[in-house]
Structures are given as C-alpha cells and as structure tokens.
Amino acid sequence: MADNKPKKPHAIVIPYPLQGHVIPTVNLALKLASQGFTITFINSESIHHQTSKAQAKTGVELFAKVRESGLDIRYTTVSDGLPVGFDRSLNHDQFMASLLHVFSAHIEEVVAQIVASGEDVHCLIADTFFVWPSKIAKKFGLVYVSFWTEPALVFTLYYHLDLLRLNGHFAREDCRKDTIDYIPGVKGIEQKDTTSYIQETDTTSICHQIIFSCFNDAKNADFVLCNTVQELEPETISALQAKIPYYAIGPIFPNDFSKTVVATSLWSESQCTQWLDKKPHGSVLYVSFGSYAHVTKTDLAQIANGLSLSKVSFVMVLRPDVVSSDDTEPLPVGFQEEVADRAIIVPWCRQKEVLAHPAIGGFLTHCGWNSILESIWCQVPFLCFPLYTDQFTNRKLVVDDWKIGINLTNRKVITKEEVSDNINRLMCGESRDEFRNRIKEVKKILENAVSPTGSSEKNKVQFIKDLKAKIEKIAQAKCSKCNGHA
Ligand code: UDX
C-alpha cells in the first residue's frame, strides 16, 4: 500500500511586501523550518532588491546562511507588477493597486511552476492582507494558512466590519461616536481607537478595497496564525476561536533576539551601540516612526523642538522618506547642531539591538505592532504617537489596557511643550519607575508564552498537529479519488 503520509510538510510562504510584514514572516518561516518543514519563501523582486542593496551584497540570497545550518528553506522572487526601481513610498496607491490587481497573477504563475516541477507542496502560508490566497490554495489543492502580523483586536475589528457598518460606526458621513460594544470578545472600544481605515468616512480607497476583499478571503482560511499572545488578548482570541481555527503563537522572534540571522532590513543599518555604550543606564529615549507611515513636517518640527526642550539624550531614526521621499531634509533648521552633544540621528538602525541596549529607557514610537512586541521584550516603556492603519488600536492596548506607556499628545495639535513634558514623565521620576515595573510584568507574560509549556508554544505545536492532520486528509481524499478512477 502506498504511504500517503507527508514525511515533511512543505509550505509556500509569501510575505506582504512591506518591511513590517517581511520581518515576522521570515521569523515564522525559520520557526517552521526548524520544526522540520520544507519552506519555499516567495519574496517580491522589489523587497529582494532593496534588502540586497541595503546589505551592499547583490546576488546574495536571504536564506543562504540558514540553509547551510541545515534548514530546508528554498527561495524565489516574483514581480509585484511594478518596476523594481519604482518609488512605492511616493506612489503608495499605485503600489497598493498593483498588489490588489496584478500580484496574484505573478504568484499563481510561480506556484504553478513549483507544483508542476513535481514538488510535493502541501500548504500556502500568506499574509492576511492578500486578497487571493484562498483561491490560489484551492486551485492547487493546498491548505491555506493566513498569517496575521497585527494584534487579534485589529483582526477582529476587520473581521466584523459588517457589524460596524450595520451599527453605524463605519462607512458613513455621520458615524456614531459612542462606544462600540457589540464585537464578540471586545468589551468596548471607541471609534477613535479603531484603525485609520475604519475611522475614515470615504471608504472607496484602494486600501479599503484590499481590506474588504482580504477579509472575505480570510474567512476561507483553513487556519489563522497571529503574532500575538493568548494572555494579552484572551477574550478577543477566544471569541475568534469560536468562529475560526485561530492560533496565537507570538511573539515570533528569532531564537537569539537581537542577532540578525537573515538580513531583512530595507535600508542599511547604522551602528548605534558604541554611542549608547557611553550613556547611563535607562537614560536614552529611542525615537522611530517605523517603516511605512509618514509624519507631517509640522508634527516632526514640534517633536524635534520638544526633544530639544526636554534635555533628554536620544537616538532618532529618520527614514529617508519619513515625511516624503520628495523632502529629504525635513528637520527644523539648526536642530541637529543644537542636540549634537546628546543625540544621534540615523536613517535606519538595528532596532532590536538598540532596544536591547541597557542605556535605552523609553521609546517614542508610531506604535507598529513589531515595535511594540520588541520593546516589551526589552522592557522599554512607550511614548505613543500613532500615525496610520492599526497603530491607533495598538496605542489603546499599550496605554489604556496594559498601562505601559503614555500618549505623546492628548490634543489635536502637538506642541513642543507637551512633547517635552511627556518625555520627562516617561524618562524621569516616580512615573518612570511605575511604567518600568509594569512593563516587567507584561514582559513576563511574553516570556512565559514562548517557554516550552507556554501558550504560544503549545498553540504552535497544536497548529502543526492540526495542519498535518488536514494535509493527510487531503492526501487520502486524493488517493481514494485516484483509486476510484483506476
Ligand atoms: C506597519 C503596522 O503599523 C504594523 O502594526 C504592522 O505589523 C506592520 O506594518 P511598521 O511601520 O512596519 O508597521 O512598524 P513595525 O510593525 O514596528 O515594524 C517595523 C520593523 O522594522 C520592526 O521589526 C523594527 O525592529 C524594524 N526597524 C525599524 C529596524 O530594524 N530599524 C529601524 O530603524 C526601524
């Protein structure tokens, strides 16, 4: 009798082609490969090109080193439909339109080639924001695993967009402003704490089309993996689990937290360690707005002037396109000279290495989910300045629910005085100690979750077991079909 049991599950893994999605997806691929999976990682040509350029090593492939260490990770690239050199940051909507309309055709071609080569492929692990995975998975007889890189709270808001719409909290000019209290597993959330897309009244944008389509598609997923921790969002996750097979397996970090095993940075990383080594313990504020969102020049000026006023030492990451790739010198005139004796400003850094440095005592952040998980891991409390997408909801979790940070501003208009006051609240005195004690407790939750008996580890083991059972079921169904035809 033929042995239809797959010896090794083979997963095609596809990250959303944005920095904050590529990083956790690479880490997930590494985790699964070290559990005995064969992985075929499909990167967009543009991300491949940018990461290679950042390393100043063209032609070197992302996983070459880990493959030498015995992991079975294959790698290929595919066009997202636009030329490699196209400025995706400046032409955001065009980029998103390409991901919505064109990317799937290229992906389908590559998946077809892999399958046609005779490879025994079993599942497709793709970012939830893609609009096509369930269709491609179905076409090629693959199990579809949807990977969500943001908190479960954000997932559930999108998952229940129909409820938000029905209740008048979404997609109308005169949106209700009272508390949203009918989403399963969410006690109550204000409209201002939902994602930027849910708050917008015009819902005809490309990003809205993506969100509508991708959550329709995600409802067909066989499994959903989420980079969060069960104990951080217990009710939300339980409510989701009543509807779909949902596994909280975060935080998904490399085994050695601050070591780079696979180079994923889109910009070349400046060294900050030597400068930090000379600073007292917990005295330096780390400032970064992540990889994607833009800050207005006016807000950036107030933040810069607030930093200047605060007298606190800081490391500031100023991405070349942080305001716009059209404006490469967005800081106020004279600012850099004024703070030169207590600050370094770099275009990009090794964030995990910086956060893990003992000199860092606070993080002025845009509230990207990776940044939040990384900073909790390093026990660095937050000064929150959400800009876009899920960051407003992430802020709520950090400030209102877990109480491990404060808002950069509580007004519509930022002032340098408020920025400076809040920096000092986070970095000095009794309030500083409170945040640091509290974040120690939250770090413990993360640490426990990834320990051998912790929830994320158990959920990962359960997911692998369930996935293998599903793969086997599909193989058996195929086999009996063949026998039936014979
Ligand atoms: C967006 C979303 O807001 C976020 O919630 C989602 O999960 C991904 O996309 P992004 O701007 O990419 O966020 O921020 P974040 O999620 O924090 O990810 C940025 C990543 O880049 C982090 O892993 C961080 O360590 C890394 N980084 C950032 C660097 O390595 N160096 C830097 O200088 C800045």
Are both 114 and 217 inside the same structural domain?
A: yes
Are both 103 and 240 inside the same structural domain?
A: yes
Are both 228 and 325 inside the same structural domain?
A: no
Are both 300 and 373 inside the same structural domain?
A: yes
Residue 415 forms part of a structural domain: yes
> 321 CB under 6 A from ligand 1?
no
Question: What's the average model confidence in pLDDT over 58-76?
Answer: 88
What is the spatial distance between Cα 371 and Cα 377, in angstroms, rounded to a whole number? 10
Domain that holds residue 244: 10-258+452-484
Model pLDDT for residues 227-243, shown as the tens digit of each residue: 999 999 999 999 999 99
The length of the chain, given as a count of residues? 486
What is the spatial distance between Cα 414 and Cα 38, in angstroms, rounded to a whole number? 50
Are both 277 and 375 inside the same structural domain?
A: yes
Are both 226 and 137 inside the same structural domain?
A: yes
Are both 281 and 399 inside the same structural domain?
A: yes
Q: Is the pLDDT of residue 3 over 90?
A: no
Distances (CA, A) of 285 to 173, 243, 374, 426: 40, 42, 15, 9
Q: Which band of pLDDT confidence, cut at 50, 70 and 90, is reported for residue 247?
A: very high
Which residue's CA is the closest to the ligand 1 atom numbered 26? 351
Residue 129 forms part of a structural domain: yes
Percentage of residues in the chain having pLDDT higher than 70: 97
Q: How far is the CA of 288 from the centre of ligand 1 (A)?
A: 9
What is the spatial distance between Cα 396 and Cα 410, in angstroms, rounded to a whole number? 13
Q: Is the pLDDT of residue 4 over 60?
A: no
Question: What's the average model confidence in pLDDT over 152-173?
Answer: 97
> 391 CB under 6 A from ligand 1?
yes
> 21 CB under 6 A from ligand 1?
yes
What's the number of CA atoms in the CB half-sphere (13 Å) around residue 299?
16
> 369 CB under 6 A from ligand 1?
yes
Residue 108 forms part of a structural domain: yes
Residue 1 forms part of a structural domain: no
Are both 114 and 243 inside the same structural domain?
A: yes
Pocket test for ligand 1, best of 259, 370, 373 (most atoms within 8 A of CB): 370
Q: Is the pLDDT of residue 319 over 90?
A: yes
**What CATH number has the domain bearing residue 113?**
3.40.50.2000
Model pLDDT for residues 252-263, shown as the tens digit of each residue: 999 899 888 899
Are both 472 and 362 inside the same structural domain?
A: no
Residue 5 forms part of a structural domain: no
Q: Is the pLDDT of residue 223 over 50?
A: yes
Are both 230 and 313 inside the same structural domain?
A: no
User: Can you tell me which atom of ligand 1 is nearest the CA of 21?
Assistant: 8
| Closest alpha carbon to 464 in 234, 240, 247 | 247
The domain tally of the chain equals: 2
Residue 263 forms part of a structural domain: no
Instruction: Please state whether the peptide bond connecting residue 151 to the residue before it is cis, i.e. omega within 30 degrees of 0.
Output: no
| Closest alpha carbon to 129 in 211, 63, 197 | 211
Model pLDDT for residues 338-368, shown as the tens digit of each residue: 999 999 999 999 999 999 999 999 999 999 9
> 66 CB under 6 A from ligand 1?
no
Q: Which band of pLDDT confidence, cut at 50, 70 and 90, is reported for residue 486?
A: very low
Which residue's CA is the closest to the ligand 1 atom numbered 2? 368
Q: What is the pLDDT of residue 482?
A: 73
Are both 246 and 202 inside the same structural domain?
A: yes
Which residue's CA is the closest to the ligand 1 atom numbered 3? 368
Q: What is the pLDDT of residue 287?
A: 98
Instruction: Decide: residue 411, CB within 10 A, 0-12 exposed, 13-18 middle, 19+ buried.
Output: exposed
What does R_g of the chain's alpha carbons equal in angstroms?
A: 23
Are both 430 and 466 inside the same structural domain?
A: no
Q: What is the pLDDT of residue 59?
A: 62
Percentage of residues in the chain having pLDDT higher than 90: 92
Question: What's the average model confidence in pLDDT over 128-137?
Answer: 98
Contact 141, 217 (CB under 8 A): no
Mean pLDDT of the chain: 95
Which residue's CA is the closest to the ligand 1 atom numbered 13? 368
Which residue's CA is the closest to the ligand 1 atom numbered 29? 351
> 288 CB under 6 A from ligand 1?
yes
Model pLDDT for residues 422-481, shown as the tens digit of each residue: 999 999 999 999 999 999 999 999 999 999 999 999 999 999 999 999 999 998 888 887
Which of 53-57, 306-310, 412-416 is the least confident region? 53-57
Model pLDDT for residues 36-66, shown as the tens digit of each residue: 999 999 999 999 999 999 988 656 788 999 9
CA 69, 71, 73: angle at the middle one, nearest 5? 125
User: Can you tell me which atom of ligand 1 is nearest the CA of 352?
Assistant: 25
Q: What is the pLDDT of residue 1?
A: 43
50: tokens are 């940018």
Q: Is the pLDDT of residue 329 over 60?
A: yes
CA 416, 422, 423: angle at the middle one, nearest 5? 85
Question: What's the average model confidence in pLDDT over 65-69?
Answer: 92
Residue 178 forms part of a structural domain: yes
Which residue's CA is the closest to the ligand 1 atom numbered 9? 20
Q: How far is the CA of 390 from the centre of ligand 1 (A)?
A: 12
* pTM of full prediction above 0.75: yes
Residue 333 forms part of a structural domain: yes
